[in-house]
Amino acid sequence: MTGIEGEAGTPDTPVIEFRRVALTYPGPPPVHAFRPCDLTVHRGDFMTVVGPSGSGKSTFLNIVGLLDAPTAGTYLLDGIETGALGDGDRTALRGRRIGFVFQAFHLMPHRSALENVILAMVYCGVPRTERPDRARAALQRVGLGHRVHALPSRMSGGERQRVAIARALVARPSLLLCDEPTGNLDSVNAGTVLRLLEELHTEGMTIVLITHDAEVAARGLRTVAIRDGVLRERVTVA
């Protein structure tokens, strides 16, 4: 039993645990994109990640999101050692436990909001008959209960991102992994999306959010900075 399809670990099991995790692109010449790092993200944390372009943020996101395997160290997601998993198990673990929110939304333009959210459940083991109700509930949760049949092309950027958040939440993941979620939004829509993320955090969701924007980063409970592949906890001075 790998635990991939099972419940999340105990409340004390970190959602993310890095033990000397690193990623080097082989080159030549080799690029040390992510330097050896110990990191713990507990259940209910809200961690923001900042760093200049080329610093290693995408590399970090790809490792955490099980899109790339580290070349050194151990990554435990919900207490599950990810290095030992084959491709199928990695994909299953990702689908079951990580909800992704991207800057560019990545919705299917010719499918309604409801269909976009329903389709996200195809790969995460939710029985077909439960999918429509689960999708409606997720859209209701993000304040779009009245827009379930709308096409993304008829929605504002903020509404599209809320559909994307509903899609990310519908599998009840352990972690919401957000990559510049407000990067394509004006300040009003960005504010709505950030308030929604804060509410979800208050309800217990664990959030890791990557951003260029210092104001967005300040909304996290904690911030880590990546520079030249080195991740450091940022200590704020009050």
**Residues in touch with ligand ADP (CB under 6 A):** 25, 31, 33, 51, 53-59
Q: Which is nearer to ligand ADP, 56 or 99 (CB)?
A: 56
Q: Which is nearer to ligand ADP, 26 or 86 (CB)?
A: 26
State the minimum distance, in angstroms, from the CB of residue 50 to ligand ADP: 10
Which residue is associated with the tokens 């290095």?
83
Closest CA to 163 of 210, 211, 220, 118: 118
State the minimum distance, in angstroms, from the CB of residue 55 to ligand ADP: 4
Question: Measured at CB, which residue is nearest to ligand ADP?
Answer: 58
- Residue 148 CB neighbour total at 10 angstroms: 18
Q: Which is nearer to ligand ADP, 33 or 207 (CB)?
A: 33
Amino acid identity for residue 185 in this structure: L
State the minimum distance, in angstroms, from the CB of residue 57 to ligand ADP: 4
Cα angle value 148/164/128 (rounded, 5°)? 60
State the minimum distance, in angstroms, from the CB of residue 117 to ligand ADP: 28
Q: Where are the alpha helices (DSSP H) in 67-119?
A: 87-97, 113-119
* C-alpha to C-alpha distance for 108 and 212, rounded to whole angstroms: 26
Q: Which is nearer to ligand ADP, 27 or 204 (CB)?
A: 27
Q: Which is nearer to ligand ADP, 59 or 116 (CB)?
A: 59
Closest CA to 85 of 5, 12, 179: 5
| Residue 121 φ then ψ, to 5° | -90, -5
For residues 68 and 49, the answer to whether their CB atoms sit within 8 Å is no
State the minimum distance, in angstroms, from the CB of residue 25 to ligand ADP: 3
How big is the chain, counted in residues? 238
